[in-house]
Amino acid sequence: MAIKKLKPTSPGRRQMTLLDIGDAAKEKPLKKLTRRLPRTGGRNNSGRITSPRRGGGAKRRYRRIDFLRDKDVKPARVETLERDPFRSALIARVVYSDGERRYVLAPLGVRKGETLVSGEKADIQPGNTLPLHFMPAGTMIHNVELRPGRGAQLVRSAGATAQLLAKEGEYAHVKMPSGEVRLVSLRCRATVGQVSNIDHANVSLGKAGRKRWLGRRPRVRAVAMNPVDHPMGGGEGKSSGGRHPTSRNQTPAKGYKTGRGRRNKWMVIKARTK
């Protein structure tokens, strides 16, 4: 895939770049594999804004992705490659030998007409899914499960890939894209290869309107607000805040740890940060 630059016929198009995904941009989704997903506008069930700066955006339907890949032995032929408005990676519509159609994450290099297989006896080829127990050390993987049978939860964004470093007892040592090395059960499944659409991170939106299409609204500086709207608002003239920077709910913004901590710290062999 390549990055396309546009002729600078306007200030917005001067900085704008587009992703050339070929025929994947023209394919329409299979309606029975999609569902309506109403927008919340960043509001909870009480109508209060809990995720600010969200709202609007283009209409879209959610694609049901098969993260389990549990149809073993039956080969699946790739019918189409499509873009998914809910994720950065491309998706592939596959048809199994029994006629069932599903959406799966499209691995890098997999093309229309190729065959994907799941199960313990699958070959180590991009797009095939099998338990970590049956993969050799050093295999590059994505779409990784955390618990057997729950479906993939890790390494699913565009261009992401992890590496199976070693096997020890009932667990595999998997190096994540962040650099973290963690234990994953050998019974968990993963897909061989790298996630498609590796140039996604290099796209420049170019103009504010393109951000609005994605459902992101403008951000107002906290010091420009009134005191009723933000802890750092108010002041005569241009104020720099006069206090340590905080979020809207008074959580310190610099150096304050907000995580609850991991329940399974013993599964992390090497943290992503020192």
Secondary structure class of 116 (helix, strand, coil) = strand
User: Which residue ranges make up each domain of the chain?
Assistant: 22-37+57-196
Q: What is the pLDDT of residues 192-241, one digit of tens each?
A: 999 999 999 999 999 999 999 999 999 999 999 999 999 999 988 888 87
> Please, which pLDDT band fits residue 274 given cuts at 50, 70 and 90?
low
8 Å CB contact between 192 and 126: yes
Find all residues with CB under 8 Å of 104, minimum gap 6, and list them.
65, 66, 69, 76, 91, 92, 94, 116
For residue range 57-81, list pLDDT tens digits in order.
Answer: 999 999 999 999 999 989 999 999 9
Q: What is the pLDDT of residues 10-48, one digit of tens each?
A: 998 999 999 988 888 888 999 999 999 999 999 999 999
Strand pairing partners for 171?
A: 168, 185
List, for residues 132-175, the tens digit of each pLDDT value.
999 999 999 999 999 999 999 999 999 999 999 999 999 999 99
Burial of 234 (0-12, 13-18, 19+ CB in 10 A): middle
Number of helices and strands (H, E) in the chain?
A: 2, 17
Mean pLDDT rounded to a whole number for the chain: 93
pLDDT-based confidence at 258, cuts 50/70/90?
confident
Task: State mean pLDDT over 106-117.
Answer: 94
Q: Does domain 22-37+57-196 have CATH number 2.30.30.30?
A: yes
Average of per-residue pLDDT across 83-101: 95
Partners of residue 136 on adjacent β-strands:
none
Judge whether 112 and 76 are in contact, CB under 8 Å.
no
The tally of CA atoms less than 13 A away on the side-chain side of residue 76 is 29
Residue 1 pLDDT more than 80? no
